[in-house]
Amino acid sequence: MIRGATPLKSPHPTASQPIPRSIPAETYLARQANNRTETDLLREVSQYLRARNVWFRRYNTRALRVGARLMFTIIGPDGKVATGHPDLMARAPASGRPVWIETKSKNGSLSDPQLAFRDEVVARFGDLYLAPRTLEEVMVFFEPGRSFGRRDPT
């Protein structure tokens, strides 16, 4: 553990909140869609992949507060903290190719460590990488019959 770091509790409630009666349901749902967090999208993507029987794994990271900075960490093969690792790794159904998925909010962007990770796995291994902002982007990618071929093992 990093000195001075404190594990954070999730700010997201487990139960869904009721729709306020003061506004129409359509208005509320439209606002919620615009305010969807990366965590919300990650949950939706995981549910979709599970429903489509796509093999995937969630890479649980731990949120730590270091001073005013929030860090999400995962331990790398060398036993040190690794940064830039995506949220999910799935397998393309037809080819079995690795698909790394880093969910982003409407205005989110990949950090420098995430860009470095993406560039390495695409260039070095020929893996596929998605940074979806909506569930629809994932649905199009994993639609039935779509094939990305097998990567050349050499």
Q: What is the pLDDT of residue 2?
A: 44
HEC string of 80-114 equals CEECCCCCEEEECCCCCCEEEECCCCCCCCCCHHH
> Helix count (H) and strand count (E) of the chain?
4, 8
Compute the CA torsion angle 13, 17, 22, 27 (nearest 10 deg). 90
CA 46 to chain centre: 9
Nearest CA to 151 among 100, 99, 95?
Answer: 95
Do 62 and 5 touch, CB atoms closer than 8 A?
Answer: no
Domain count, the chain: 1
Q: What is the pLDDT of residue 145?
A: 67
Residue 1 pLDDT greater than 60, yes or no = no
Q: What is the pLDDT of residue 120?
A: 94
On whether residue 27 sits in a domain, the answer given is no
Range of the domain at 69: 37-141
Q: What is the pLDDT of residue 147?
A: 58
Q: What is the pLDDT of residue 131?
A: 95
On whether residue 25 sits in a domain, the answer given is no
Nearest CA to 69 among 12, 110, 8, 11?
Answer: 8
More confident residue, 104 or 5: 104
Compute the CA torsion angle 116, 117, 119, 124 (nearest 10 deg). 130
Most confident of 1-10, 33-42, 59-68: 33-42
| Residue 14 DSSP class | S
CATH number at residue 57: 3.40.1350.10
On whether residue 154 sits in a domain, the answer given is no
More confident residue, 64 or 90: 90
- Of 4-18, 37-51, 114-128, least confident by mean pLDDT is 4-18
On whether residue 152 sits in a domain, the answer given is no
